[in-house]
Structure 1
Amino acid sequence: MFTFPSKPWAVLCLALGVSASAEAAELTFDKQQIRTHIATLASDEYGGRGPLTRGETLSIDYIAQEFAKLGLKPGNGDSYLQPVPLAQVTADQGVTLKLGQLELTNGSEFTARTQRITPRIEVKDSPMVFVGYGINAPEYGWNDYAGLDVRGKTVVMLVNDPGFATQDPTLFKGNAMTYYGRWTYKYEEAARQGAAAALIIHQTDAAGYAWGVVQNSNTGSKYTLVDASNNASELPVMGWLHQDAAHKLFKQSRLDLAALSQAAAQPGFKPVTLTGTASIRFDNTARMAESHNVLGLLPGSEMPEEVVMIHAHWDHLGTNKSDGHIYNGAIDNATGVAGVIELARVLSEQHRQAPFKRSILFSSFTAEETGLIGASHFATHPTVPAGQIVAFLNIDGMNVDNALDYILRYGDGVSELEGYLERAARSQGRTVRPDPRPQAGLLYRSDHFALAKVGVPGLLFMSLGDNDPDYIPHRYHKPADDYHPDWSLEGMAQDLSLMAIIAAQLANNGDWPKWLEASEFRKRRALDGRQ
């Protein structure tokens, strides 16, 4: 196991790679203050930190006040807040989905929602077609929509991608999910194809989470950015099917879902028409409002226009209005926000003794849980041009228990930041282990991905149950994700130390970490002259 120095919450300045003038100084993480941050943000008073709720006001005020107390400059002009215009869309939860002769129950058998800003959504007598994985990926030579017209139809598809299904390392990325396996992509592609509705068949192993996560994440209010057309180009109905309901649907068509799933994972699969039509109608209540990202800046001494970002999203799932359950999100992601605030304190302290050459921007975005909305808004309306952002270090859940002799790497051969992670871990006497759940696609499920889309490389720091195998099945995105005063927080200290090492190096060395794999991310970075 990792052994701490004599002061377990200490980070030595030499480890941070700062100038010799600061050799004698020692920075320490404040364990009690971190506890206070987590306990406050994850308290019932904050109501689960839902965007556009009192919990948002409390959360963003708390973070902004902490940034101000630490002496950080406002990160958006003269404000610590960046407005994010969005809509809170609440769909009627008494809706029934009809698939041929089947009438499915909302929540237990399916979920459905929309991002269109309209009082009513109706899909009536829409022909159904099984489109395998619903993927159009030219670089992999794969197109489930080839020669198919799905305009006005309901497309039914599998979660994840063919690589996971076959475990063939030469197909997509084998066991590791690609972006084409993410539900966000599948809905986007279905919309581009003109579908009326898309229903993704849930499978726990392929999705990386149980049905309860789908149900809790999709049956309450959701949030979306809004364009000039009130999101008219978005898919009308974004749905999920419980696997049992999907088996009933295919049985109704005298088809074997298991056999078709195997066939869908092979090149050359042809879509299959399902018996009957799909119909669904539900009313929407849309509330237009502003949410907020929080930004605090530590200006660099020599290259202030070049920025290293340290980040954690502040939102969680809020309070369920139907049963009153509060989703406090203590680990996901009150720990991350507490970590950002503490890193801001430690690095600001260091900066006063030996100023960093580049700026460090500490951020906490809104509405990550509903589709990386705050991050997407920042990516398209940045307070710092994307071409000037060196790297994006993103915390999304921290290890609240004992220290570990390893740290997880999400993605493999993606960017040169992986080398920074390797070296920092080695300096702590730790090893780097690959993501144990690559099929879950965590590389595409947190705020760093929105920045990757505009070319900014990032690292994801996520610890969801490394010391607690009970977390994912019983606490993740559930009311049980609460703060516990008996947490040792030694793992947080260890990981915050590692992040401080990486951040300080990047803030001083003038490096521009490059993308390693050919991708749209790499192409975008090349446009900024950094690749």
Structure 2
Amino acid sequence: MLSVNTFRLIALCGVFLLPSANAAPFQFDEKTYRQDVETLASDEFEGRGPLSKGETLTVEYLEKAYKAIGLKPGFGDSYRQAVPMAKITADQTMQLTIADVVLNNGSDFTARTEQIQPQVSLDNSDVIFVGYGINAPEYKWNDYANVDVKGKTLIMLVNDPGFATQDPDIFKGNAMTYYGRWTYKYEEAARQGAKAVFIVHETAPAAYGWNVVENSNTNTKYTLVDNHKNQSHIGVMGWVQHHGAQKIFSAAGLDYDTLKLTAAKPGFKAIPLKLKANLTLKNQIELATSYNVAGILPGSSQADEWVIMHAHWDHLGKTVQDGKTRIYNGAVDNASGVAGVLQLARHFKAQNKVPKRSILFTAFTAEETGLIGAQYFAANPPVPTKQLVSFLNIDGMNVGKGVNYILRYGQGVSELETYLDDAAKAQGRTVKADPRPQNGLMFRSDHFALAQQGVPGLMFMSLGDTDPDYIAHKYHQDADDYDASWNLGGVEQDLGLISDIIEKLANNNDWPKWLEESDFKKRRAMDGK
């Protein structure tokens, strides 16, 4: 019999939720879901910051939940995977000076480092404008051609030239490629030998306001500890406000807006600004261990083949500003997703029939600081990556009413898109393309770390899609709190869809393939898949 919540959803959406022919109907336990979200997003959990009291409470809560559900430990005899990390807290009284331009931390720029050093300094560092900071041979684009950036400070634009031009023949037009992500820009600059990077922030190409940059970069940050051999990281990872960039270029006798247009054209050449940058970045460093958490439902006939269902457990923790404590509870991002994974785990454990393949239910640390927990898991999986069938990732759920569509992030990426199409059709829903492809969400959550190891994935995200106010006033803000008035029709709807996909993947012999040519496809081929 359909639940009261399901009938409510039918009335709201005009769609009928049909389970897979071989699966028991997904039963949404609204009371337990609300309890999980409310607890994880409570002030007591202090914003679930890694290496904090909030982490201790979160990991203990998840471990207890996995045991109560009846899942086996996901890492040998433990539910925890130790992730060696450094907690780096920068002194926020710093200033950045470039020529006679003085920029104030927080309001004008941000700076941090992933190098485990008590101090990183820029002492009269040469400043070079390198356009978008991209070296992409497949697009015949190299902003580093014929310029020596070793030891220097780079200023670069956010996103990629495709977004700037809206030309589908340049990169992927409006849809951001990985070359537009800030993570890539810092990584490539480090490979080129630069000392510092300052990415110019503009809201449209960044896909979020300066408040997100400031909140995400002016508090404690984290990095993996790899025997302290992390000098491959850029020394200074910075952002600068648009108005600050205009002042810097003006000091060099140049016009920022004119050069921005030039940088979006093929053949752009880096421009030394003939200015010197000075900054002292002082850090407090704490070496500690964070944890990924996982529980497994062992399969039967194909138990060595794993389907992964995931949501990152961390958020931004808490800060003290002007004597006031601000707690970033991350109720939607991503307590809603973690609670969703627990619902799915309960559903599959309650089935009479054991799936053929094993299902691993995971929650990783430090997604908000650059997918750190996911990167560690991808490099140190409990079984070889060739045994990982797929990675399904929830990063924020639709806590409002159900809708007649599901969002697809990316197009023509992998055969998992067919699974999404089929599951949506079974619910009477359509698959809708990402309405904001310029945001590059394909590269901004934990599934991407597994994709880099060749494991195909799907992301399920609803951040602002049904709540236009969310991105502007709640995303990475202290207003992302649990609300007892949430309808949760969208959560019930999407968990039903995801359970259908898991059921199929866990009971067939399919190995979903990458469709487009990419490094992901090449990596999967190395595993013989």
Is the pair's TM-score, using the shorter chain for normalization, greater than 0.5?
yes
The answer to whether the 8 Å contact 2:19/2:25 transfers is no
Asked if the contact 2:26/2:499 (under 8 Å) is kept, the reply is: no
Tell me the distance in 2 between the aligned counterparts of 1:161 and 1:13: 40
For residues 456 and 108 of structure 1, what CA distance do their matches in structure 2 show?
Answer: 40
Residue aligned with 2:407, SS: strand
1:507 maps to a residue whose letter is: A
- Aligned identity (percent) is 59
Q: What amino acid maps onto 1:308 in structure 2?
A: V
The answer (yes or no) to whether the contact 1:410–1:442 under 8 Å persists in 2 is yes
Judge conservation of contact 1:455–1:525 (CA < 8 Å) in 2.
yes
1:22 aligned partner? none
Structure 1 gap ranges (5+)? 20-24
1:504 is matched with: 503
Deviation at 1:228, TM superposition (A): 2.1
Q: Which amino acid aligns with 1:343?
A: L
Structure 2 partner of 1:338 = 339
Counterparts of 2:329 and 2:192 in 1: how far apart (Å)?
A: 38
In 2, the alpha carbon distance for the partners of 1:470 and 1:6 equals 28
Partner in structure 2 of residue 223 of structure 1: 222
Letter in 2 for 1:279: N
Shift of 1:27: 4.2
How far does residue 18 in structure 1 lie from its aligned partner after superposition? 2.2
Residue of structure 1 aligned with 2:22, choices 15, 18, 21: 18
Distance in structure 2 (CA, Å) of the matches to 1:179 and 1:383 = 27
Contact 1:100–1:275 (CA under 8 A) maintained in structure 2: no
> Tell me, what secondary structure is at the counterpart of 2:401?
coil
Amino acid in the other structure paired with 1:523:
K
Distance 1:17 1:301 in 2: 20
Within 2, Cα distance between the matches of 1:78 and 1:444? 32
Aligned letter for 2:62?
Answer: I
Gaps in structure 2 of 5+ consecutive residues: 11-15
Q: Write the deviation string for residues 464-504 of structure 1: whole angstroms up to 9, x where unpaired.
A: 12221000010000000000000010100000000000000
Q: Which residue of 1 aligns with 2:13?
A: none
The separation in 1 between residues aligned to 2:421 and 2:48, in whole angstroms, is: 34
- Tell me, yes or no, if the aligned pair for 1:112 and 1:239 is still in contact at 8 Å: yes
Aligned to 1:514: 513
Q: Secondary structure at the match of 2:215?
A: helix
Q: Partner of 2:368: helix, strand, or coil? A: coil
Paired residue type of 2:513 = K
Distance in 2 separating the partners of 1:474 and 1:440: 17
Give the 3 Å change call, closer, same or farther, for CA 467–511 of structure 1 in structure 2. Answer: same
Does structure 1 retain, via aligned residues, the 8 Å contact 2:18–2:427? no
Contact 2:9 2:401 survives alignment (8 Å)? no
1:288 partnered with 2:287: yes
Q: State the 1:181 CA deviation.
A: 0.4
Contact 1:86 1:223 (C-alpha < 8 Å) held by counterparts: yes
Q: Distance in 2 between matches of 1:4 and 1:421?
A: 23
1:117-266 matches, within 5 Å, as 117-266=116-265
Show CA shifts across 1:337-396 (max 9, x none).
00000000011112xx12110000000000000000000000001112111110100000
Measured on the aligned residues, the alpha-carbon RMSD in Å equals 1.6
> What is the rounded CA distance, in whole Å, between the counterparts of 1:369 and 1:75 in structure 2?
23
TM-score by length of 2: 0.96
Count of matched residue pairs: 520
Instruction: Give 1:275 deviation, angstroms.
Output: 3.5
Deviations 1:425-478 (A, max 9, x none): 011011111111111111000000000000000000000122210000100000
Answer yes or no: is 1:523 the counterpart of 2:527: no
CA distance in structure 1 between the aligned counterparts of 2:100 and 2:395, rounded to whole angstroms: 43
Instruction: Provide the C-alpha distance between the structure 1 equivalents of 2:433 and 2:285, rounded to a whole number of angstroms.
Output: 41
1:453 matched residue in structure 2 = 452
> Residue 411 of structure 1 aligns with which residue?
410
Distance across 2 between alignment mates of 1:312 and 1:225? 20
Deviation of the 1:15 alpha carbon: 1.9
The Cα of 1:13 is off from its aligned counterpart by: 11
SS in 1 for 2:361: strand
Offset at 1:258? Answer: 1.1
What amino acid does structure 1 have at the position aligned with 2:165? T
* TM-score (norm. length: structure 1): 0.96
Q: Structure 2: how far apart are the matches of 1:118 and 1:66?
A: 38
Give SS of 1:504's match. helix
* Paired residue type of 1:355: V
Residues 290-310 of structure 1: per-residue CA shift (max 9 Å, x gap): 000000000001100000000
SS in structure 2 opposite 1:394? strand
